[in-house]
């Protein structure tokens, strides 16, 4: 997530950074392969088993989700003078828990569960625009992963990537931001 430091939660639940990233990437692979929403917690458990994590890792992750903290630069989003929302690839209750911990006030939170699909499917981004009342071409999507930035672009949104992992690179058409403070400068209000 661009706003929330989920990497620490994955790392702690997996017992180490390398294992946490491997597990999260295995969940992302399952998300990318899914045609429609499948229970997020099930994908998390399947991926944990696939990467050889001990039984209980998925339960630890879900339990720690409500302890997730925002990235230190997340408060910059409160400086936006335009409406914003959180669009996330998890279940409704996990999305709500993370949003409450953010300290921010998005207009709404759209989970993959609610959307019926996972990002990067274009319908997820378009549903967010519909709820915001904005045209996709006039909407900036701030992503925390390259596939998410590319998905937003494919759905017709302008997108940017806040790089939270050193192994994440954007393509040449994605605006790369160093911090969420840069979002304010990247958005041209109507």
- What are the structural domain ranges in the chain? 6-65, 74-186
Q: Would you state the structure tokens that stand for residue 174, as one six-digit string? A: 């994605």
* pLDDT of the residue at 184: 78
Helix, strand, coil percentages (3-state) for the chain, rounded to 5, are: 50, 10, 40
Q: Give the whole-angstrom CA distance, residue 189 versus residue 81.
A: 8
CATH topology of domain 74-186: Rossmann fold (3.40.50)
* pLDDT of the residue at 166: 78
Low-confidence ranges of the chain (pLDDT < 50): 189-190
* pLDDT of the residue at 190: 45
Instruction: Give me the half-sphere count of Cα atoms (radius 13 Å) on the Cβ side of residue 74.
Output: 23
Q: Would you state the structure tokens that stand for residue 135, as one six-digit string? A: 């045209």
CA-to-CA dists, residue 104 to 43, 48, 79, 83, angstroms: 28, 31, 10, 12
Q: Which helix (H) or strand (E) holds 164?
A: none
User: 70 pairs with which residues across the strands?
Assistant: 4
Neighbouring C-beta atoms of residue 8, cutoff 10 Å: 16
Answer whether 0.85 is exceeded by the pTM: yes
Phi and psi torsions of 88, nearest 5°: -140, 150
Burial-class residue 61 by CB neighbours within 10 Å (0-12, 13-18, 19+).
buried
* pLDDT of the residue at 172: 66
Q: Give the whole-angstrom CA distance, residue 65 versus residue 11.
A: 12
* pLDDT of the residue at 1: 64
* pLDDT of the residue at 176: 80
Q: Give the whole-angstrom CA distance, residue 71 versus residue 53.
A: 26
């Amino acid at each position: 997530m661009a706003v929330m430091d989920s990497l620490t939660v994955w790392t702690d639940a997996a017992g180490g950074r390398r294992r946490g990233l491997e597990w999260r990437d295995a969940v992302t692979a399952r998300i990318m392969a899914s045609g429609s929403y499948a229970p997020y917690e099930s994908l998390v458990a399947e991926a944990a088993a696939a990467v050889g994590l001990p039984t209980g890792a998925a339960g630890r992750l879900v339990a720690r989700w409500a302890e997730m903290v925002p990235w230190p630069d997340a408060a910059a989003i409160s400086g936006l003078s335009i409406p914003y929302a959180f669009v996330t690839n998890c279940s409704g209750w996990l999305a709500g828990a993370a949003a409450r911990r953010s300290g921010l006030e998005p207009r709404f939170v759209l989970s993959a569960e609610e959307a019926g699909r996972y990002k990067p499917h274009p319908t997820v981004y378009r549903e967010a625009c519909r709820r915001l009342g904005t045209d996709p071409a006039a909407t900036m999507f701030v992503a925390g992963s390259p596939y998410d930035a590319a998905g937003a672009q494919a759905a017709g949104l302008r997108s940017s990537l806040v790089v939270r992992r050193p192994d994440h690179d954007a393509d040449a058409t994605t605006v790369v931001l160093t911090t969420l403070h840069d979002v304010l400068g990247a958005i041209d209000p109507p």
